[in-house]
C-alpha cells in the first residue's frame, strides 16, 4: 500500500509523469498489473494518494523550517517557510508538478470547473497561522478590502469561526501573499522564468523582501532576512 505509492513516486521522479504507469509499478514490484487493483481502484486514485502524501511531506518541511527559526518573529518565520517551500519544490520538481500543476489528476482533465481541491490547504493554513499571529501583534498591513465579503469557501469559513485575529482583511492578506509566493516559485520550477533570468535564487530573495514589505508594510532589514543565495 505505502510501498506502491513509494514506487510510483520513484518512477515519477526518474522518468516524469508519463513514466508512472500501472504496469511499470507492477514490474518494479514483481507483481501483476491487475494485482494493484486490490489496493487502488484506478491509476488516478493511486496518483491522488501519492499527491496527498506529498502535500503532507511539504507541509512538514515548511513547519520544520518554521520551528527552527530562533527568536519570536512571525515575519521571520514566514520567510523561513517561504524559503523552505521553494527549496522543497526545487528538490522535487516532478512532485511539485503533480501537486500544484494544472488540474489534480484525481478527477479528470475536464474543461469544466472542477470541484474544490482541499489538498493544498494543509500547507496554506501553516502560513495563515503565522500571518494571524503577525496580525495579533499589530504587525500586519491589511489592505483595504470591501470587495470581498463573505465569499470565502464554506470549508475555510468553518475553520475560521472562533479564531481570533482572523478577520476578513487578514484572510485576504494571506491569500494575496500565498498566491504571490506560488507565482514566483511555480514559475521558476515549471521553467517559465528561464527565458529571462538565469539566477533565479537572487530573484527569489529580492522578491522575498518585497513579500515581507507587502505583509508588514515596513522596510525589512535585509541583514536580518538571512539571505545567503546559495540554493540553486
All 3 cell numbers of residue 186?
Answer: 511555480
For residue 230, the minimal CB distance to DNA (Å) is 38
CA distance 53 to 82: 20
**Nearest Cα residue to 83 out of 61, 105, 101, 100:** 61
Among the candidate windows 23-31, 49-57, 65-73, 197-205, which touches its own copies by CB under 8 A?
A: 197-205
For residue 72, the minimal CB distance to its own copies (Å) is 27
* Binding-site string for DNA from residue 1 to residue 30, where x marks contact by CB under 7 A and - marks none: --------------------xxxx-xx--x
> Which C-beta is closer to its own copies: that of 164 or that of 219?
219
Residue 33 to residues 24, 25, 28, 210, 225, Cα–Cα distance (Å): 8, 8, 10, 50, 51
**Nearest Cα residue to 55 out of 28, 89, 106, 15:** 89
Residues in the interface with its own copies (CB under 8 A) total 72
Residue 226 contacts its own copies per CB under 8 A: no
CA distance 173 to 131: 8
* Binding-site string for DNA from residue 44 to residue 83, where x marks contact by CB under 7 A and - marks none: x---------------------------------------
Residue 114 contacts DNA per CB under 7 A: no
For residue 37, the minimal CB distance to DNA (Å) is 5
Taking the CB of residue 30, how many other CB atoms lie within 10 A of it? 7
**Choice from 32, 68, 114, 218 touching DNA (CB under 7 A):** 32
By CB under 8 A, the residues from 49 to 78 that bind its own copies are none
> Which C-beta is closer to its own copies: that of 194 or that of 224?
194
The answer to whether the beta carbons of residues 57 and 21 sit under 8 Å apart is: no
Residue 224 contacts its own copies per CB under 8 A: no
> Which C-beta is closer to DNA: that of 51 or that of 83?
51
CA distance 36 to 66: 38
All 3 cell numbers of residue 145?
Answer: 478590502
Residue 28 contacts its own copies per CB under 8 A: no
To which residue does cell 509523469 refer? 17
* Binding-site string for its own copies from residue 165 to residue 194, where x marks contact by CB under 8 A and - marks none: ------xx--xx-xxxxxxx-xx--xxxxx
CB neighbour class for 14 (10 Å; exposed up to 12, middle 13-18, buried from 19)? exposed
Tell me which residues touch DNA (CB under 7 A): 21-24, 26-27, 30-35, 37-38, 41-44
Amino acid at each position: 500500500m505505502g510501498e506502491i505509492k513509494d514506487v510510483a513516486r520513484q518512477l515519477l521522479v526518474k522518468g516524469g509523469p508519463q513514466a508512472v504507469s500501472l504496469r511499470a509499478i507492477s514490474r518494479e514490484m514483481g507483481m501483476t498489473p491487475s494485482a494493484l487493483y486490490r489496493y487502488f481502484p484506478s491509476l488516478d486514485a493511486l496518483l491522488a494518494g501519492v499527491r496527498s502524501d506529498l502535500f503532507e511531506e511539504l507541509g512538514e518541511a515548511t513547519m520544520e523550517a518554521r520551528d527552527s527559526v530562533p527568536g519570536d518573529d512571525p515575519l521571520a518565520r514566514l520567510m523561513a517557510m517561504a524559503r523552505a517551500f521553494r527549496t522543497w519544490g526545487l528538490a522535487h520538481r516532478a512532485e511539485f508538478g503533480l501537486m500544484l500543476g494544472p488540474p489534480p489528476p484525481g478527477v479528470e482533465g475536464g474543461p469544466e470547473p472542477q470541484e474544490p481541491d482541499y489538498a493544498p490547504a494543509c500547507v496554506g493554513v501553516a502560513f495563515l497561522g503565522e500571518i494571524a499571529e503577525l496580525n495579533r501583534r499589530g504587525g500586519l498591513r491589511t489592505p483595504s478590502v470591501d470587495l470581498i465579503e463573505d465569499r470565502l469557501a464554506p470549508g475555510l469559513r468553518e475553520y475560521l469561526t472562533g479564531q481570533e485575529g482572523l478577520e476578513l482583511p487578514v484572510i485576504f492578506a494571506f491569500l494575496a501573499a500565498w498566491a504571490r509566493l506560488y507565482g514566483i516559485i511555480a514559475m521558476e520550477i515549471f521553467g517559465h522564468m528561464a527565458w529571462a533570468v538565469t539566477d533565479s535564487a537572487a530573484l527569489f530573495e529580492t522578491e522575498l523582501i518585497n513579500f515581507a514589505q507587502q505583509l508588514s508594510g515596513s522596510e525589512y532589514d535585509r541583514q536580518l532576512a538571512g539571505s545567503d543565495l546559495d540554493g540553486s
